[in-house]
């Protein structure tokens, strides 16, 4: 499965959603997640993310591993998203910010 990690927080560009053949992205207030049981490992979304937030589960950086469980957990409660939407108006201001986990809204 593929996993959305920290750099998506407050960016949410949604280019990833547009290419997913099985519509397995789920949308929270300022972050997206992938449903691990629905993802077919096609890898199409990975290069689409402008902030490189998406990794294959076995390539998630060590300091991002908590996002594996977080994707699974939040995909069960957030609504599905299957079309690209406009990113937050201040998304570009957040794209290079590191350590923004405390910004995640559930
Ligand atoms: Fe969707 Fe493919 Fe990305 Fe999985 S790897 S989330 S199936 S686009
Ligand atoms: Fe997030 Fe990147 Fe998709 S910022 S919404 S994972 S395109």
Domains of the chain: 2-79 (3.30.70.20)
pLDDT per position as a tens digit, 63-94:
999 999 999 999 999 999 999 999 999 999 99
Mean pLDDT taken over the chain: 98
Q: Which of 41, 71, 82 best tests ligand 1's pocket when mutated (most atoms within 8 Å of CB)?
A: 41
pLDDT class for 98, splitting at 50, 70, 90? very high
The three-state DSSP-derived secondary structure of the chain is CEEECHHHCCCCCCHHHHHCCCCCEEECCCCEEECCCCCCCCCCCHHHCCCCCEEEHHHCCHHHCHHHHHHHHHHCCCCECCCCCCCCCCHHHHCCCCCCHHHCCC
pLDDT at 86: 98
pLDDT class for 11, splitting at 50, 70, 90? very high
This model of the complex carries an ipTM of 0.98
Q: Which of 15, 24, 60, 67 best tests ligand 1's pocket when mutated (most atoms within 8 Å of CB)?
A: 24
pLDDT at 4: 99
């Amino acid at each position: 499965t593929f996993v959305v990690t920290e750099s998506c927080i407050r960016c949410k560009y949604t280019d990833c959603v547009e290419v997913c053949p099985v519509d397995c992205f789920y949308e929270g207030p300022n972050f997206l997640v992938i449903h691990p049981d629905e993802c077919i490992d096609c890898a199409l979304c990975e290069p689409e993310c402008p902030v490189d937030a998406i990794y294959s589960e076995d390539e998630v950086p060590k300091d991002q591993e908590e996002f594996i469980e977080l994707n699974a957990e939040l995909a069960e409660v957030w609504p599905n998203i299957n079309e690209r939407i406009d990113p937050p108006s201040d998304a570009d201001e957040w794209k290079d910010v590191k350590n923004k986990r405390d910004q995640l809204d559930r």
